[in-house]
A and B are shown apart, each in its own frame.
Chain A
């Protein structure tokens, strides 16, 4: 039996048109999320969440983040409080949450009609 169950949150980043083509790296996103989760829920909430960027498509600004199943809402709430990454105004919009990567990728293909990038090794 698995002792920690994971959730995969499919999200996209929206920003005003003048900032649409500015590059946002996955490191910047995960750092901002870690800071925000720590700000709201403290270190306990942060280590329990176990955030990890699974996929990131910089062109369409779509990504998948892995977290603990009990920290799903904490992660999405933290996303709501992020309004800027590297001085670029952004809106995080979580689209769907799933329990497996396979299902999340399937939802990605269905919703965004684009092919998810391969996983970094």
Chain B
């Protein structure tokens, strides 16, 4: 199951539905919808794209269980996510306290090494989002090591790569190449999504999983096995974490209900 890790929520329902149709045509079966604040979160949770009541799920919980969250109005399964952009570590902790009880996956995006380090240590954070592919110097060895230890996902957005030209594109590709050499995909959990673009015409920057896989294989020299894990297995695992949290089957880290009957 191919899932897109980041598509922005659009309050204009018809436009958003069009984006979903495009995603479906491009080959995705699901996506994480990014909400920027509490207002957007409420809008999405109460929309026709997400089940308002907790859907009944059959045990054991596996990838096919994700389809329970699919609504008739949407061609693909949608899960909410929030990307926190705190100005300092105190604000990060406050925002995490606020968002941890809500039905969403939590990501942190920042240019500050200090914030990224605190986020990488915090168990409530699910993923770290790279703010720009042009500057990856903030992602130090220490932070990468913490991400690996705590099993936090590393979220990459490809729209900057697609929309850039000339030397800018070369620099992005070089940064990605260096990142994949430093943090190898078999030991780090990468996920890939479309990302936010200042232009409202989000549709033009969507690309299918096959095309993104081809870029990773041919330009960044990743083996096909790792590309499959980036595009499919890692993101499926993240979606399953969300489902398990939403269904209240987590008791403690390492302890979860495997069958309610």
A binds B: yes
Known contacts: A73-B218, A77-B219. The answer to whether A16 contacts B211 by CB under 8 A is no
For B163, the chain A residues whose CB sits under 8 A away are 83
CA distance A80 to B26 in the complex (A): 11
Judged by a CB distance under 8 angstroms, whether B207 is at the interface is: yes
B204's contact among A40, A81, A91, by CB below 8 Å, is which? A91
Q: Does B180 contact A (CB under 8 A)?
A: no
Docked pose: A96 CA to B26 CA in angstroms:
12
Q: Which residues of A contact B207 (CB under 8 A)?
A: 80, 91
C-alpha gap A40/B172 in the complex (Å):
13
Chain A contact residues, majority secondary structure? helix
| Contact partners of A17 in chain B: CB under 8 A | 18
B68 within 8 A of A: no
Q: Of the candidates A14, A73, A83, A91, which one forms a contact with B214 in the assembled complex, judged by CB atoms under 8 Å apart?
A: A73
User: Does B217 interact with chain A (Cβ within 8 Å)?
Assistant: yes
Q: Size of chain B's interface in residues, with CB distance under 8 A?
A: 22
The winner among A16, A80, A94 for most chain B CB atoms within 10 A is A80
- CB contacts under 8 Å to A, within B4-35, are 18, 22, 25-27
Q: Which of A40, A79, A89, A91 has the most CB of B within 10 A?
A: A91
Interface of B is mostly: helix
For the complex formed, measure the closest distance between the CB of B240 and the CB atoms of chain A, giving whole angstroms.
Answer: 27
Q: With A and B bound together, what is the CA distance between A14 and B218 in angstroms?
A: 23
Query: A94 touching B162 by the CB < 8 A rule?
Result: no
A80 touching B211 by the CB < 8 A rule? yes
**Complex partner residue of A80 from B18, B27, B201, B212, CB under 8 angstroms:** B212
Contact B210 A83 (CB under 8 A): no
Q: Does A93 contact B (CB under 8 A)?
A: yes
Inter-chain CA distance A91–B206, complex, in Å, is 8
Tell me, yes or no, whether A74 is within 8 Å of chain B by CB.
Answer: yes
Q: From residue A79, how far is it (CB to closest CB) to chain B in Å?
A: 6
Chain B residue with Cβ nearest A45: B218
Scan residues 94-112 of chain A and give those whose CB is less than 8 A from a CB of chain B: 94
Q: Are A94 and B25 in contact (CB-based, < 8 A)?
A: no
B26 and A77 contacting across the interface, CB-CB below 8 Å: no
Partner of B162, one of A74, A76, A83: A83
B residues in contact (CB < 8 Å) with A: 18, 22, 25-27, 162-163, 201, 203-208, 210-212, 214-215, 217-219
The 8 A-B pairs with the shortest beta carbon distances in the complex, nearest first, are A80-B211, A76-B214, A73-B218, A77-B214, A73-B214, A77-B218, A77-B215, A73-B217
What is A's interface to B at a CB cutoff of 8 Å? 14, 16-17, 40, 73-77, 79-81, 83, 89, 91-94
A-B contact pairs, 12 of them (CB 8 A): A16-B201, A16-B203, A16-B204, A73-B214, A73-B217, A80-B215, A81-B162, A91-B22, A93-B26, A93-B27, A94-B208, A94-B211
